[in-house]
Structure 1
């Protein structure tokens, strides 16, 4: 703990006693989403995924990925060859309880809190807001200022919310002056915990456990007492936290969890990106994540963490369909009860999630189909153990996005629409449905083709001409369902059904990746509300 003391004139010789009370400490640990942690190579310690901000965007990472082939991506982004990079950008100014006049010392304090492990472009301003709002009064800010700021952020009222950008899904317990008074009893140092998002989230959960124990131990000293932490999560970080709370001793060490835009039952867009890339969704983000299915699959198929974002066994049945030219389903829904056997492990159908040839991109470090099966089985086991209605901390709060306009539209399901091509001899829709990946022209872009042919003609007068024909065109449309642009509302609101979840907020106007950013004040508001309620029930050391 550090305190600021104003010295008096040396002519005054009266003794002054500064009595320092012991603080009850309740640290906040932020757990980022997939791709939200900085990564570096294990051997040379070179950054391979660092989300430093340039005018608010990870421009340098985009430049690094620009022009990379699927093989380049596969070589650099493998869970066994990467680790968390702690050297991302951190604030250069003091904030809250993190302060120093020496720039190097200040940076060291932020890095000790784990802030350099997570993406500055996605989370930097939010970490600053947490620290400043909860601890700003400790460095000379008037108490009334911080009270007013917290009150403004947490002023949720139990009133008609039909025309508001937020809606509580359960009975709302309003914030009260007692909530604010209770916050003054606690010291809330803000930490972050990056993890290797390529690796199994079960391993990330063990890393989070180590960080929780470390933070609790660090805050037990002559001036501070600490027994629990609060977790605030983003996206896949929610799955990591849910796995962590199952580990021995963790439920008691966690006072509560706030889940933001968590894919509670998975997200079909993970399938779509593996098949068709991200170019149609967001051209700028596609430079980083992958324009084509080949780009994405090269990394996705060897990353258990990413595979754990696929729709789980609890997601709605029939989310993947192939429709014939008449708009009717060609065959029965492909997901009846077991998406792993029915979709993810299929190597004999073109609509299976992974095309085997894409596991061996030119210039890459190839993986075998057996390797992929091992990773998807890890995802299946993780889903069975973690993504269930009962696996929630008993003091859980959550929010999700529910918009169907512009960039917040989400994929609730994936529909391959068949339309007739210009080829002469036609296969039937049923025959096309049953084709292997090798029988269909798949290049990882929309649309794909059945019976694709390219004919080159040369005429003395007209010159060289190219004609492309196909029997069937296979196209997936753009997102149409409610959500945050990545996670559909159907999956985001899943925690509502759990009796362990105290409150779930349905929000409009928020996008998935920047959900905690400056343009999402309502998400920040409900997060502070949740923190205040969790603090009321936290165990006082």
Structure 2
């Protein structure tokens, strides 16, 4: 015989926030059946991942064309029946077809669909840690009709739409911490890393001084309110402006559904990673998401605020691969995304969204350089126009687009086949997008990012010509002989000086091979986004707080304790601005 409490899950019910039902037990069972009713107020947290952080599926037509056994286009947690090695050895043509923005959509969870296509089988990447605690995401008892597990409830929140090995820890951390703040009137021990801590511990920039969060402030935010954590994937191949329009509809639907269920939900808080920050800014722009009144605030993590030169470097030299021993998650991502320039160009040159990660005109001048013997031969942009001064330059060995890499699949233009002209149209779209959101930041914005001198990033891209080339005259017009596709090109230097004219009376010029190489990154950042781009947020004057941090790599930023602490602090500060219509209730957490 036991007297332990038997928890009863409170189920959603038409016309009421929650409804709990007890069940019959043997007389010997004296355990009380207790249901914890959630407060009426709800403030959803919407997480937006970075580029390649959302899982995509391909159309049935493209799946058939590629003769694939499944429709997975991008799912770094599990790449379908083909393993990582197979995906990493795909040809550029296969990558272009698999990651076509016109033939892909977000892989959204649908419990009513086939398990291996849209249901639990497909979203098996979601796994709940043993120590995870949330009053919302718990297994239903066996007696509940249409019972769901905690994992299924998390999948319904979109957790399976994103790269879970990278973001799952954050999602669980936010869900657990925000809904477990106090117990029997005392603050839970896990909040001691945030409450009462000087924000300078997490590298808060002194130009925006922050006060430590108090217990009373946290209690006031948490009392009578709960925080449902969602993850919304988006098609990172498409324009971020288009993604914002789609995400805006999902946010509106989420708010409407919660209100129809008997809760009071007026606004949401957005938490972003990397490229998701651009989508978040577009969400509040009237020409894209137009949700400025329904977003209470935004927390930006490692956002390339004005783009990153790494996007140029990767289209010419592939993704940086740290190696399986140093960082297996990043190494797998690099191999699958493309270790070689032609593999990356085949995808990014045909992707409006990806091209929006290139440095914008707000990034400034002089970030692309060609040097010889330590001297600049040329730097671009000069006039603040990278679109025409760099990206659209055609037929040069230092061009962004090597045209033979754009359309390896050979698809005709009417079927989505890439051309130089179409890529330039995408660049025009990127320019318009960049300029529209250049000064668009939520009035209640917070940010954290890497400004680490030990985490070298491409703040600029430098091509250096061999020192053994005595005279680099005419270097702009040298043709490529060979290209490693990883940052070194062999060029033909036509030398007008003939060393032995008597032996070669009819030769005007003698070709000599010269190498040009992209130098390693050398500026502070997080190994992907340079501080120069992230600091645009600090210089904008639009943020409540900025945390300039060290110690983490870009993709893994939300695994860092200081980044998580800064995020929780920022969320609570944003939540303090919430206004409610309903009478304050006692928190159940």
TM-score, length-normalised on structure 1? 0.85
- Whether 2:236 is the aligned partner of 1:236: answer no
Deviation at 1:421, TM superposition (A): 5.4
- Indicate which of 383, 394, 402 corresponds to 2:434: 383
CA distance in 1 between partners of 2:392 and 2:251 (Å):
36
Tell me if structure 2 keeps the 8 A contact 1:37–1:194.
Answer: yes
Paired position in structure 1 for 2:212: 174
Tell me if structure 2 keeps the 8 A contact 1:72–1:364.
Answer: no
CA distance in 1 between partners of 2:268 and 2:290 (Å):
13
- Indicate which of 129, 148, 155 corresponds to 1:111: 155
- Indicate which of 485, 488, 508 corresponds to 2:527: 485
Paired position in structure 1 for 2:55: 38
Unmatched 5+ stretches in structure 2: 1-9, 12-17, 64-69, 109-121, 325-330, 495-510, 582-589
Deviation at 1:207, TM superposition (A): 1.3
Deviation at 1:205, TM superposition (A): 0.3
Paired position in structure 1 for 2:249: 210
- Indicate which of 60, 64, 75 corresponds to 1:50: 75
- Indicate which of 344, 362, 380 corresponds to 1:296: 344
Deviation at 1:52, TM superposition (A): 1.9
Deviation at 1:19, TM superposition (A): 9.9
CA distance in 1 between partners of 2:175 and 2:524 (Å):
33
Paired position in structure 2 for 1:466: none
Tell me if structure 2 keeps the 8 A contact 1:392–1:500.
Answer: yes
Deviation at 1:53, TM superposition (A): 6.9
Deviation at 1:439, TM superposition (A): 4.6
- Whether 2:543 is the aligned partner of 1:521: answer no
- Whether 2:356 is the aligned partner of 1:308: answer yes
- Indicate which of 445, 451, 460 corresponds to 1:413: 460
**Change in CA separation of 1:306 and 1:282 when aligned onto 2, cut-off 3 Å:** farther
Tell me if structure 1 keeps the 8 A contact 2:205–2:545.
Answer: no
Paired position in structure 2 for 1:130: 174
Paired position in structure 2 for 1:120: 164
**Change in CA separation of 1:279 and 1:177 when aligned onto 2, cut-off 3 Å:** closer
Tell me if structure 1 keeps the 8 A contact 2:244–2:280.
Answer: yes
Paired position in structure 2 for 1:464: none
Tell me if structure 2 keeps the 8 A contact 1:50–1:61.
Answer: no
After superposition, the C-alpha distances for 1:489-516 in whole angstroms (9 at most, x for unaligned) are: 1111211122321111001101100111
Tell me if structure 2 keeps the 8 A contact 1:395–1:534.
Answer: yes
After superposition, the C-alpha distances for 1:403-451 in whole angstroms (9 at most, x for unaligned) are: 122xx211110111111458xxx8x42411244xx55543422321112
Backbone CA RMSD of aligned residues = 3.2
Tell me if structure 2 keeps the 8 A contact 1:169–1:505.
Answer: no
Paired position in structure 1 for 2:102: 80
After superposition, the C-alpha distances for 1:137-162 in whole angstroms (9 at most, x for unaligned) are: 6xxx9356763322323443166x6x
Secondary structure of 1:451's counterpart equals strand
- Indicate which of 511, 516, 527 corresponds to 2:553: 511
- Indicate which of 442, 462, 466 corresponds to 1:393: 442
Tell me if structure 2 keeps the 8 A contact 1:147–1:180.
Answer: no
TM-score, length-normalised on structure 2? 0.78
Where in structure 2 are the equivalents of 1:154-169 lying within 5 Å?
154-157=195-198, 167-169=205-207
After superposition, the C-alpha distances for 1:441-466 in whole angstroms (9 at most, x for unaligned) are: 4342232111289xxxxxxxxxxxxx
**Change in CA separation of 1:229 and 1:158 when aligned onto 2, cut-off 3 Å:** closer
Tell me if structure 2 keeps the 8 A contact 1:133–1:146.
Answer: no
Secondary structure of 1:429's counterpart equals coil
Tell me if structure 2 keeps the 8 A contact 1:294–1:443.
Answer: no
Paired position in structure 1 for 2:516: 474
CA distance in 2 between partners of 1:165 and 1:502 (Å):
14
Paired position in structure 2 for 1:142: 183
**Change in CA separation of 1:296 and 1:496 when aligned onto 2, cut-off 3 Å:** same
Paired position in structure 1 for 2:404: 357
Deviation at 1:356, TM superposition (A): 0.6
After superposition, the C-alpha distances for 1:346-398 in whole angstroms (9 at most, x for unaligned) are: 11322121101111326777411122112111111111111x1x300000000
- Indicate which of 389, 393, 400 corresponds to 1:342: 389
CA distance in 2 between partners of 1:500 and 1:172 (Å):
15
**Change in CA separation of 1:476 and 1:249 when aligned onto 2, cut-off 3 Å:** closer
Question: Would you say how many aligned residue pairs link Structure 1 and Structure 2?
Answer: 503
Where in structure 2 are the equivalents of 1:415-494 lying within 5 Å?
415-420=462-467, 428-435=471-478, 439=480, 441-451=482-492, 470-494=512-536
**Change in CA separation of 1:206 and 1:362 when aligned onto 2, cut-off 3 Å:** closer
**Change in CA separation of 1:310 and 1:502 when aligned onto 2, cut-off 3 Å:** same
CA distance in 1 between partners of 2:49 and 2:422 (Å):
27
Paired position in structure 1 for 2:297: 256
**Change in CA separation of 1:295 and 1:17 when aligned onto 2, cut-off 3 Å:** closer
Deviation at 1:338, TM superposition (A): 0.3
Paired position in structure 2 for 1:276: 317
Unmatched 5+ stretches in structure 1: 454-468
Paired position in structure 1 for 2:7: none
Tell me if structure 2 keeps the 8 A contact 1:279–1:290.
Answer: no
Deviation at 1:276, TM superposition (A): 0.9
Secondary structure of 2:85's counterpart equals helix
Deviation at 1:305, TM superposition (A): 0.9
Tell me if structure 1 keeps the 8 A contact 2:204–2:210.
Answer: no
**Change in CA separation of 1:21 and 1:260 when aligned onto 2, cut-off 3 Å:** closer
Paired position in structure 1 for 2:327: none
**Change in CA separation of 1:143 and 1:216 when aligned onto 2, cut-off 3 Å:** farther
Tell me if structure 2 keeps the 8 A contact 1:402–1:508.
Answer: yes
Secondary structure of 2:545's counterpart equals strand
